[in-house]
């Protein structure tokens, strides 16, 4: 960690899995939430990948005033190193929360869910899948190659013995296609083996908007405008600004090209799989993709 940064404990960020029971079901709902408590604000967010979650974590660290630079709270989100943004030591995780509060932890989490301002950012479901594929399978990622890409290659690419490492696979030009990825999502065996990874799990299953009453839902397609509006509603727009994105985001206009290798029937099955996300968060049915 850079020597000029000092972590204070007068404010904290809590990050972890929240467990609670619904009124209509006996099973336990699990949502990944980040809670912020400071003298400035009480805030909670559901974060998942491909929706600018790194920048939102930076924003919440700034608002927590838990990171100081030369004796003053750090106010520039982009000045917070990436390794700190995703460092669990920066966050009061649910496991730590459980150990501290024991049998009262579940009740206290429910209280926070009720009293904190809760927000969520979403993204076009199909574009999010393209982004997940690009990030995890078009770039060298040993963990995702071993856990997922090798499975896809064996099942759908006629590769009974795929390369042992991601480096060997890239050298040989062997990797699952986007069509293989879609086959993997539609294959009933996939979730028999394990639940969907959070990079492609449906948002309604990650953040449970029917059980958690979010106060604000923004969209990645208009993230800068929506973030500005949210920070203004929270009355912290004079404290921090949402960083302007310099990254080449996966564009919704690319959908037709990406799905051109996926059979139309598979596209329609995929839509059924992600239809709750389309309908819950105001995304139109992608007719041009589904009705070719």
Is the pLDDT reported for residue 284 higher than 50? yes
The two three-digit tokens of residue 286, written as one number: 């992608």
| Residue 41 pLDDT > 50 | yes
Task: Give the lowest-confidence range in 27-36, 42-51, 273-282.
Answer: 27-36
Q: Which two tokens stand for residue 78?
A: 């982009």
User: Which range in 64-78, 111-125, 233-247 is most confidently predicted, on average pLDDT?
Assistant: 111-125
Alpha-carbon distance of 204 to 281, in angstroms, equals 10
The reported pLDDT for the residue numbered 4 is: 33
User: Please, what sign has the CA dihedral across residues 218, 204, 280, 266?
Assistant: positive
pLDDT in tens, 223-236: 899 999 998 998 88
Please give the residue that has the higher pLDDT: either 151 or 55. Answer: 151
Residue 154 has phi, psi (to 5 degrees) of -70, -45
State which H helix or E strand residue 129 sits in: helix 125-137
Q: Is the pLDDT of residue 28 over 50?
A: no
Residue in the block written with tokens 């206009």: 253
* Rounded Cα distance, 72 and 22, in Å: 43
Q: pLDDT of 153-175, one tens digit each? A: 999 999 999 999 999 999 999 99
Candidates 184, 183, 178, 186; CA nearest to 260 is: 178
Domain boundaries, the chain: 5-122+209-233, 125-199+251-290
Q: pLDDT band at residue 263, thresholds of 50, 70 and 90?
A: very high
- Mean pLDDT score across all residues of the chain: 80
Task: Give the model's pLDDT for residue 52.
Answer: 64
Taking the CA atoms of 274, 279, 284 and 288 in sequence, report the sign of the dihedral they define: positive
pLDDT for 290 beyond 50 = yes
Q: How confident is the model at residue 22 (pLDDT cuts 50, 70, 90)?
A: very low
């Amino acid at each position: 960690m850079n020597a000029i940064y000092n972590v204070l404990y007068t404010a904290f960020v809590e990050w972890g899995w929240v467990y609670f029971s619904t009124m209509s079901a006996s099973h336990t709902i699990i949502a990944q939430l980040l809670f912020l408590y400071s003298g400035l604000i009480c805030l909670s967010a559901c974060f998942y990948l491909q929706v600018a979650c790194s920048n939102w974590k930076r924003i919440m660290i700034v608002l927590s005033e838990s990171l100081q630079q030369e004796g003053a709270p750090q106010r520039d989100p982009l000045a917070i190193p990436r390794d700190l943004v995703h460092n669990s030591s920066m966050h009061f995780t649910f496991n730590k929360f459980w150990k501290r509060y024991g049998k009262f932890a579940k009740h206290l989490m429910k209280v926070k869910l009720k009293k904190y301002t809760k927000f969520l950012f979403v993204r076009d479901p199909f574009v999010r899948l393209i982004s997940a594929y690009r990030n995890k399978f078009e770039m060298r990622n040993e963990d995702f190659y071993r856990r997922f890409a090798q499975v896809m290659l064996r099942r759908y690419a006629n590769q009974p013995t795929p390369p042992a490492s991601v480096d060997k696979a890239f050298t040989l030009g062997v990797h699952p296609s986007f069509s293989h990825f879609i086959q993997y999502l539609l294959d009933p065996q996939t979730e028999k083996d394990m639940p969907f990874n959070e990079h492609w799990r449906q948002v309604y299953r990650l953040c449970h908007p029917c059980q958690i009453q979010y106060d604000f839902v923004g969209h990645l397609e208009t993230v800068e405008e929506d973030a500005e509006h949210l920070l203004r509603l929270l009355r912290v727009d004079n404290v921090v600004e949402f960083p302007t994105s310099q990254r080449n985001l996966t564009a919704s206009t690319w959908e037709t090209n990406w799905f051109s290798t996926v059979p139309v029937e598979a596209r329609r099955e995929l839509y059924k799989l992600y239809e709750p996300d389309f309908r819950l968060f105001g995304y139109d049915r992608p007719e041009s993709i589904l009705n070719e």
